[in-house]
Amino acid sequence: MTERFRLTLAQLNPTVGALAANADKARVAWAEGRAAGADMVALPEMFLTGYQTQDLILKPAFVDEAIAAMMALAADCADGPTLGIGGPWADESGLYNAYWVLSGGQVQARMLKHHLPNDDVFDEVRLFDSGPISGPYRVGPLRIGTPVCEDAWYEDVTETLAETGAEILLVPNGSPYRRDKLDLRMNVTVARVVETGLPLVYLNAVGGQDDQVFDGASFVLNPHGALAVQLPPFDEVVCHVDFAHGPDGWHALPGRRDVPPDVWEQDYHAMVLGLRDYLAKSGFSKVLLGLSGGIDSAIVATIAADALGPENVRCVMLPSEFTSAASLADAADAAGRLGCRLETVSIEGARDAVEAALAPLLAGTRPDVTEENIQSRLRGLMLMALSNKFGEMLLTTGNKSEVAVGYCTIYGDMAGGYNPLKDMYKTRVFETCRWRNREHRPWMKGPAGEVIPPRIIDKPPSAELRPDQKDQDSLPPYEVLDAILERLIEGDQSVAEVVAAGFERAVVSRIEHLVYISEWKRFQSAPGPRLSTRAFWLDRRYPIVNRWRDRS
């Protein structure tokens, strides 16, 4: 008779610090696996504590409580399948990112992460100690090797596991989303499969945590790299995978095969899930935002409606004498198409009061950006007042292009708790609006159809803080600006390299200067979902005070 092994993959969404809630999720998944006749139920890396914990894991009381919760979980899951789950381990030798194998009410094995990532958004070298390379453990008829996340990116761990008798590789992960990450993971894991000749299970967490969104997209590869199972990105899934033993060893039987969506949908889903989880995990269920009639606030309102439902999104138009009739109409049109509440609060009276109060001190000066910023800060003041009064989180709406060069007002339009567009350049905002008008998915809680008025997408962007103002009065065209920014930020190119690509030196030098002098604003900005390889905050860490400029 052919030997069989059933592995239940629990691609689930933990919350950092919610030890009891995360353990309950693990129990439910384990019970589902037991009902399905699973030999083992597996959850992702550091699932019990949530991930990333950052310095929370350095608090001994937290680690002690997590270990106690793990031991209670082992006792509760004694009568049934083996449970694999990520969580911390500490003893006299150090503090470890561990994968626990629980069976029969006992701890059967702990696999300690060996390679600690110290790049990208990760800083595990300062948090954990490196564990030894572990050997495989047995579950029923199968010897399983478990490289923990980063360990699967290095051939020494997987080769050692293969040489010491592992028959499949189970890789638990806490791998956050960024563009093109699915292809990168697949390339790395195929290499491990080819090197070892073993099937590989890639199990990833899902859900938002601060600026990071874990996208799931777990999969199973057979020897020679053939795809047997592909789970969807961004969704919680419990999936049973069957393995059979043949003349050439173990292999996974064909199972669920979801087709990954294109990059536009991945980015959009990441923004929706990131916002939804940031709110839910912070205790908020409603949001508000300033709806200006421009493209950025329109797409943020749409993301919020898709994340929470239009009934939980309050839009506020805050007009001044410079607000055009077209903007008023466009804001009303956008809110109406989404089904969101729209209110109007004029800032004219407040602006007059502030200018009158400052008049003795500003006498003899000419109006400039100071008066423009007063308008923006009054809008931030009023929106924050509504947020405080009604318990609705204020969303900011600045795109990455504006955040990069400081084309935003600190304590004004930057005020708020979360920014869904923080890592999306303006040119991508335009295309994302067009994509959302064409597409609708079951996970979107907002309405289908052309929810963003085409006129908003087509009109020249403007802050409307002075007569006839356009963004391009202060900045290069966005297609030029974004191309330069991508080279300077994502590409880390020198000024000379950007100029060699066909851009004017004076423009490039000015943009580089604006990026550097705006660091202080970004340091105080709201978090937002990471979409690229160089998101502001953890991906790109620059000093606030920096007198160096690239003269190449």
pLDDT-above-70 percentage for the chain: 98
DSSP letter assigned to residue 367: P
Query: 289-337: per-residue pLDDT in tens?
Result: 999 999 999 999 999 999 999 999 999 999 998 889 999 999 999 999 9
Question: What mean pLDDT do residues 225-235 have?
Answer: 96
Question: What mean pLDDT do residues 124-129 have?
Answer: 95
Torsion (CA) 12, 18, 21, 22 in degrees, nearest 10: 40
Confidence at residue 391, expressed as pLDDT on a 0 to 100 scale? 96
Question: What mean pLDDT do residues 30-43 have?
Answer: 98
Catalytic positions are 45, 113, 149
Confidence at 469, pLDDT banded by 50, 70, 90:
low
In angstroms, what CA-CA distances link 157 with 129, 166, 171?
Answer: 16, 11, 11
Confidence at 120, pLDDT banded by 50, 70, 90:
confident
User: What is the crossing angle of helices 263-282 and 426-438, to 10°?
Assistant: 90
Confidence at residue 464, expressed as pLDDT on a 0 to 100 scale? 64
Confidence at 471, pLDDT banded by 50, 70, 90:
low
Tell whether the model's pLDDT for residue 461 goes beyond 80. no
Whole-prediction pTM: 0.95
Q: What fold is seen in the domain 265-462?
A: Rossmann fold (3.40.50)
Question: What mean pLDDT do residues 364-378 have?
Answer: 93
Confidence at residue 323, expressed as pLDDT on a 0 to 100 scale? 87
B/e letters for 459-469, b = 16+ CB within 10 Å, e = fewer, are bebbbbbbeeb
Question: Is the Cβ–Cβ distance between 189 and 168 less than 8 Å?
Answer: no
Query: 132-191: per-residue pLDDT in tens?
Result: 999 999 999 999 999 999 999 999 999 999 999 999 999 999 999 999 999 999 999 999
Q: What is the DSSP string of 379-415?
A: HHHHHHHHHHHHT-EEBP---HHHHHHT-S-TTTTT-
The domain 4-258 is classified under which CATH number: 2.60.40.10, 1.10.3720.10, 3.40.50.720, 3.60.110.10? 3.60.110.10
Confidence at residue 465, expressed as pLDDT on a 0 to 100 scale? 67
Q: Where in the chain is the domain with CATH 3.40.50.620?
A: 265-462
Spatial separation of the C-alpha atoms in residues 146 and 418, rounded to whole Å? 36
Q: Where in the chain is the domain with CATH 3.60.110.10?
A: 4-258
Question: Is the Cβ–Cβ distance between 53 and 95 less than 8 Å?
Answer: no
Question: What mean pLDDT do residues 54-58 have?
Answer: 96
Confidence at 1, pLDDT banded by 50, 70, 90:
low
Query: 390-434: per-residue pLDDT in tens?
Result: 999 999 999 999 999 999 999 999 999 999 999 999 999 999 999
Spatial separation of the C-alpha atoms in residues 383 and 373, rounded to whole Å? 15
